[in-house]
Amino acid sequence: MTPPATRRGTLVLMPNTLDLGTGHEVALAQVLPQAAIERATGLRHWVAENAKSTRAFLKRVHACRPLALPLQEIDIRELPRPRKGGGTAGPAANGDLESLLAPALAGEDVGLLSEAGLPAIADPGAGLVAAAHAIGVPVDPLPGPSSLLLALAASGLNGQSFAFTGYLPIDAAARAARIRELDALSRRLQQTQIAIETPYRNAALLGALAEHLNPATRLAIACGLTLPGGWCRTLPAARWRETPATLPDTMPAVFCWLG
């Protein structure tokens, strides 16, 4: 008689808060659904960018609902570091990702946690999700905050057609050229463009956008959403030139524009 196949566990995409590194820790229950918090209490295996911050997250979960296991008995593994200079992961990296899913192949659920927001959205966890699909591990995304979508919703710009462009070039000339390219694309397609930046370069990106976007292009800046004092403001680029905002260098911001 052939033994029954082992039930495969699920890769659970666990949402996180948006307060990492801001100095303003919000109550977990204010930004994460209760069902997600409850699911987190029972997961024995986790994959994340950083084990230390994952342990901190689980301590916050425990403050809301007790963990099923002591923290020291929970298995936390880190994602492989991205290649320098970007590029597609090679066979070795793909093998590393599959090895992180070994508990799921043995029938246990595995949690994937981002440093902030939703896993695999502007996040290296996307590679693990792709690996899960490749080997037949089910994927269960749980609802939670995404700074990109919250900013888009609050901007009043086109939410029917939009594109996330990630980080713009740091070099001033290359960044200016990219901004003009994306502005023209936005105008031609009526497509909202969304970009982010490392917080300490927020002010530099705002200055570049205000300078190089068409004066009539509407530019929205969302800063510290879900945090105390978070805000979103949409103005023509010309107005941002006249009255530039002061952006904190420790607070995440999202930049959206529509030509």
Quick one: DSSP state of residue 43? -
Please tell me the distance from the alpha carbon of residue 32 to that of residue 142, in angstroms, as a whole number: 10
> Is the pLDDT score of 23 beyond 90?
no
Helix residue spans in 190-220 (DSSP H):
202-212
Could you tell me the fold of the domain covering 11-141?
A: Cobalt-precorrin-4 Transmethylase; domain 1 (3.40.1010)
List pLDDT tens digits, range 88-134: 444 345 568 999 999 999 999 999 999 999 999 998 999 999 999 99
Largest CA-CA distance found in the chain, in angstroms, rounded: 78
| Burial bucket for residue 202 (CB in 10 Å: 0-12, 13-18, 19+) | buried
Which pair of structure tokens corresponds to residue 74?
A: 């929970």
204 has pLDDT over 50: yes
CATH 3.30.56.10 fits 147-258, yes or no: no
Please, which residues have CB within 8 angstroms of residue 164's CB and are 6 or more apart in sequence? 122, 148, 194, 195
Q: How many CB atoms lie within 10 A of CB 238?
A: 14
Provide the pLDDT confidence category of residue 84 given band limits of 50, 70 and 90. very low
Question: What percentage of the chain has pLDDT greater than the value 90?
Answer: 80
Residue spans per domain, the chain:
11-141, 147-258
pLDDT in tens, 126-167: 999 999 999 999 999 999 999 999 999 999 999 999 999 999
Whole-number pLDDT of residue 102: 95
Residue 246 has pLDDT above 90, yes or no: no
The pLDDT assigned to 5 comes to 56
